Amino acid sequence: MKIQFNIHYKTQWGQSLYLLIYPISGNSENLSTESFIMRCNEKSEWSAKITISAVDSISYQYAILNQDKSSQFEYGGIRRVEFPVVKESVVVYDNWRASYGDSPFVTAAFSDCFFKRSPLEAITQNQKGDVVLRVNCPQMESDRHFAIVGNQKILGNWDVAHKVRLDESKYPVWSIALDATKITFPLEYKYLIVDTKTDEVLAWGGGPNRLLQAADKSALTVVTDEHFIRTIPSWKGAGVAIPVFSLRSESGFGIGEFDDLKKMVDWAKRTGQRIIQTLPINDTILYHTNYDSYPYNAVSVYALHPIYLHLESLGQLKTKKQKDYFKAKKQELNAQTFSDYQNVMNAKWEFFKLIYPQESPALFASDDYKAFFEANKEWLVPYAAFSYLRDMNGTPEFGKWPDFGIYNQADIEALSFPELAHYNDIAIFYFLQYHLHKQLMAVHDYARANGVAIKGDIPIGVSPRSVDAWVEPDLFNANGQAGAPPDDFSATGQNWGFPTYNWELMAKNGYQWWKKRFQKLSEYFDAYRIDHILGFFRIWEIPVDAVWGLTGSFCPALPFTRSELESRGIWMDESRFLKPYLKEHVLYATFGKYTDDVIREYLLTDGWQNYKFKPEYDTQKKIEKHFASLGYNFGNKEVLIRDGLYMLHCEVLFVRDSREPDKFHPRISMHSSATFRDLPENTRRLLDKLYVDYFYHRHTEFWKQQALKKLPALISATNMLVCGEDLGMVPDSVPDVMNELEIISLEIQRMPKKPNTEFAMPSEAPYRSVCTTSTHDMNPIRAWWEEDPVLTQRFYNRALGMQGPAPATCESWIAERIIEQHLQSQAMLIILPWQDWMALDSTLCLEHPFAERINVPSNPRNFWCYRMHMTLEQLLKEKEFNSKITQMIKESGR
């Protein structure tokens, strides 16, 4: 069999194209992977001929060979073409495959949920011809299909009444096979979008007619068209965001469970919503206290949190006394207005310890469990051992364990040997993770069956006291803490306490740690949100002895050398620029009437009207520990003094680079410091110029390349829809990278990305975005409305276009107007917090708006306990309310 490949592509100087042929599975004479340099004519038409044994299909790909011998593959991965008839000669006409914005539509969220297609009988009358026309187009709603018309009788002579439906069995490639003897060339044709139910033509493909000039009637001709130009609006959907722990059901146990997501799927389907966004659901158990409620502080990037288990699905306890006890506990906890994390977890652990010995023998003997264990043992065994050792030693800080503090695989496998007396204390975690897996898989299957996608959340960090940091410590930098620079959420920055990543080491094996993490998540979700995607460009790294984020610096970064600073007129005076600026007038401005007390207890004299910290208070962490020791003797005075001392540690102009100590980073927000204000005007001017260059220009291309090293490998590891949380201090290169990789952005009306803009307009949101009213890190719209009346008034007049004074509260008609603005936007997805959907009805929403907030980013000890104020069963019964949402979504074209 001879195959000639043809493709039109305009290369740049020094480039050429080559064809890569891949092995053919299931064929007796498998073709080895082989590349062929293509030839080009004056019309930029490239061709290559190969000879192989007769096959019924072939897999291949085109790539650019650059002058430096590097390769650039076309978008979309490996192509596959089936040959409907066997001929000695095959001619393939292709177009260079670029994404054209289509990459979201090939993800599982679309192929398995939004655009999931019903199985159709093969269109056999269109499959045996020797001219095959194919179009690659993933964006096609499930109730629509492609048809074709053209200038031939077999294609209806341009009469849509005689259009021919394309075969969709190889979706997203649509095809038809024509008899070459019935075609008078040249063949002109157009693809049509057709409503499957009514057979109405909804749109003709844009652009000029497609053209096939001629075809050898003795050969098989295969034409694959790309870039269908859609002349009707692109698909848009709506959804809801709510943490699993916030769900409330009549069958719950005081906190949301995986099983409750099925009822949320029912509500989403009933109201026309297509996606449910959650917060992270990984195990966060460190201390068995409410501290563990923080969902972003994962103890394992693979293990799911046992708190989300539905107890009845694990088995039924044997005695009436036990059953009555847990029935009473369930009623007590389910009556709470908040998610009572610690008490729920304690009660569930009581149940786990009773149900495990009863049910585990039969479960562990089952083939299904054995398959689960085999597929997951790489992470499951270390996780279970870690959990056992954490509880046995009373701390997750493995560095303090007398044994096994340094992970050794052989030692942990020996520790986990089934014949040992403590085995069941380890194996109970296998038992729980199996059930968590089964329950969440059931939710995933249920959601897909109902056309609803579940969107997960991948935190940027892991706990420094996690299984991951224990097992693979070299992947993490323990001498730094990840966080965020000052922003709208926190004027002093955010310190998340996570270790930063050793990206150089991770790159050596192609970021396998990240890929496996993403792949595990894809078992349960069809879409995911990358928390703080800016961290893949650079992370804000804070010294381990700091509490606030002000003395952090970006990593990786390009700090200044001494000579570079001097060339800009700045001489590095370490005493003035690097040491805290503790002048007497600064102390009085900070502490007022408490200044003398502060000097006496925390400071030492260091020259005329100048001070330094006593050694026992010379870091923020030491100060934090001191004030934590005060216990109940902690009032407003102590808060003022503690925070003032924290701020004094930030009274510096530069921070030293942690890896190259003779290089320096300008301190973020230095302009607000006393040490900056007290400088001569000329020095301030020089520092200001340096500051602007460092934070807004110097790293633009550098950070872009950092992201392009990591993100493509990570997002290609699964077929989930990728959304990036691109908020905060966003480098200029972020939009370019997200556009290039077609990652969906996050747009929030209260956090505009456009400079000198107070409120973003949803109407200006890009198509490839998630547009929302609020996030879990801010007040929902009703509480936000009451935060700052002056700001609200400007929003009322400018963003909503209303005249006169703004109402004191966010009345339901205001919420409706805000939500309508979002629904009418061009954003692909509108995902609103459940609290904001509820704001549409003043009789149904929670009485106290401020009780709806989930997280306060400036508070690292925030208790994550928000819970729906009505049950999902009640929500499903609210016909008038649900009909209103359905109508709003439908009228918006979503």
- Can you read off the two tokens belonging to residue 549? 């984020």
pLDDT in tens, 606-620: 999 999 999 999 999
* Residue 680 in this model has a pLDDT that exceeds 50: yes
Of 74, 76, 84, nearest in space to 133 by CA: 84
pLDDT in tens, 737-761: 999 999 999 999 999 999 899 999 9
Secondary structure of 210-262 in HEC code, one letter for each residue: EEECCCCCCCEEEEEECCCCCCCCCCCEEEEECCHHHCCCCCCCCCCCCCHHH
Per-residue pLDDT at 122 = 44
pLDDT in tens, 208-266: 999 999 999 999 999 999 999 999 999 999 999 999 999 999 999 999 999 999 999 99
Confidence tier at 99 by pLDDT (50, 70, 90): confident
CB 465 within 8 A of CB 292: no
Per-residue pLDDT at 634 = 77
Per-residue pLDDT at 27 = 41
pLDDT in tens, 283-337: 999 999 999 999 999 999 999 999 999 999 999 999 999 999 999 999 999 999 9
Whether this model's pTM surpasses 0.85: yes
* Residue 120 in this model has a pLDDT that exceeds 90: no
Per-residue pLDDT at 31 = 46
> Which residue type occupies 882?
N
Residue 832: beta bridge partners?
240
* Residue 125 in this model has a pLDDT that exceeds 70: no
pLDDT in tens, 538-575: 999 999 999 999 999 999 999 999 999 999 999 999 99
Per-residue pLDDT at 126 = 55
- The residues near 874 (Cβ < 8 Å, ≥ 6 apart) are none
Of 527, 542, 525, nearest in space to 746 by CA: 527
Per-residue pLDDT at 637 = 92
CB atoms < 10 A from the CB of 607, how many? 9
DSSP annotation of 635 reads -
Confidence tier at 478 by pLDDT (50, 70, 90): confident
Mean residue pLDDT across the chain:
95
Buried-exposed string 527-549: b where 16+ CB fall within 10 A, e elsewhere: bbbbbbbbbbbbbbbbbbebbbb
* Residue 24 in this model has a pLDDT that exceeds 70: no
pLDDT in tens, 348-368: 999 999 999 999 999 999 999
pLDDT in tens, 410-424: 999 999 999 999 999
Per-residue pLDDT at 232 = 97
Confidence tier at 28 by pLDDT (50, 70, 90): very low
**Rounded Cα–Cα distance for residues 823 and 815 (Å):** 12
- Can you read off the two tokens belonging to residue 712? 């493509």
pLDDT in tens, 36-88: 999 999 999 999 999 999 899 999 999 999 999 899 999 888 999 999 888 99
Which three-class secondary structure state does DSSP give residue 654? strand
* Residue 121 in this model has a pLDDT that exceeds 60: no
Residues 780-800 have a mean pLDDT of 97
- For the purposes of burial, counting CB atoms within 10 Å of the CB of 265, is it exposed (0-12), middle (13-18) or buried (19 or more)? buried
Which three-class secondary structure state does DSSP give residue 134? strand
Residues 698-711 have a mean pLDDT of 97
Per-residue pLDDT at 325 = 97
Confidence tier at 32 by pLDDT (50, 70, 90): low
Confidence tier at 29 by pLDDT (50, 70, 90): very low
Q: Taking CA 850 as the corner, what is the angle to CA 849 and CA 853, rounded to the nearest 5 degrees? A: 105
Residue 744's alpha-carbon distances to 264, 618, 827, 830, in angstroms, are 24, 44, 10, 12
Confidence tier at 859 by pLDDT (50, 70, 90): confident
